[in-house]
């Protein structure tokens, strides 16, 4: 019996960061070169699971939640830390002028979290480390 290896969808979720932000075009080109689909997310997606958003599922509108942060956030799925692809992607996005202080990689645990829960966790971590970007 063959083991079934589930691969994470190759996606970048962007919160409070879009085409009008400096560095967006470079980010979009860089994402394409890494085989990542870019998806901007907003208030309507806060109640959705991160894994569903990365998979491109269109979800019914849920209850309106207040914004967990005004900071820009980038949530990356499908790249790996151990092979260097995640670091290379983040470094290239930074070189392109994008200012995104909140960053995360989707994990087996966080893919089942709501976007709201993940953004709140990122905000807490950001505050704990002194707001470094």
Q: Would residue 41 count as lying in a domain?
A: yes
Q: Would residue 5 count as lying in a domain?
A: no
Q: Would residue 57 count as lying in a domain?
A: yes
Q: Would residue 38 count as lying in a domain?
A: yes
Which residue matches tokens 């989707």?
A: 106
Give whole-number Cα distances, 54 to 22, 76, 85, in Å: 23, 9, 18
Predicted TM-score (pTM) of the model is 0.89
Q: Give one word for 31, left, alpha or beta, with left for phi > 0 and alpha for psi -120 to 50.
A: alpha
Q: Would residue 133 count as lying in a domain?
A: no
Q: How many domains does the chain have?
A: 1
Contacts of 109 (CB under 8 A, 6+ apart): none
Q: Would residue 3 count as lying in a domain?
A: no
Tens-place pLDDT, residues 33-85: 999 999 999 998 999 999 999 999 876 666 777 889 899 999 999 999 999 99
State the pLDDT at residue 119. 96
Q: Would residue 2 count as lying in a domain?
A: no
Angle of helix 85-95 relative to helix 24-33, nearest 10 degrees, comes to 150
Q: For 115-122, what is the mean pLDDT? A: 95
State the pLDDT at residue 5. 46
- Residue range(s) defining the domain that contains residue 113: 11-128
Tens-place pLDDT, residues 81-118: 999 999 999 999 999 999 999 999 999 999 999 999 99
Q: Would residue 4 count as lying in a domain?
A: no
């Amino acid at each position: 019996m063959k083991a079934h290896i589930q691969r994470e969808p190759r996606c970048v979720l962007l919160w409070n960061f879009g085409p009008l932000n400096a560095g967006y075009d470079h980010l979009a080109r860089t994402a394409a070169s890494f085989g990542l689909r870019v998806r901007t997310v907003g208030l309507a997606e806060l109640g959705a699971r991160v894994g569903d958003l990365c998979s491109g599922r269109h979800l019914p509108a849920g209850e309106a939640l207040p914004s967990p942060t005004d900071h820009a956030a980038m949530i990356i799925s499908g790249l790996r830390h151990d092979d260097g692809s995640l670091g290379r992607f983040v470094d290239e996005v930074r070189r392109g002028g994008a200012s995104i202080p909140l960053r995360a990689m989707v994990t087996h645990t966080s893919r089942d979290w709501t976007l709201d829960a993940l953004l709140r966790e990122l905000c807490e971590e950001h505050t704990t480390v002194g707001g470094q970007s």
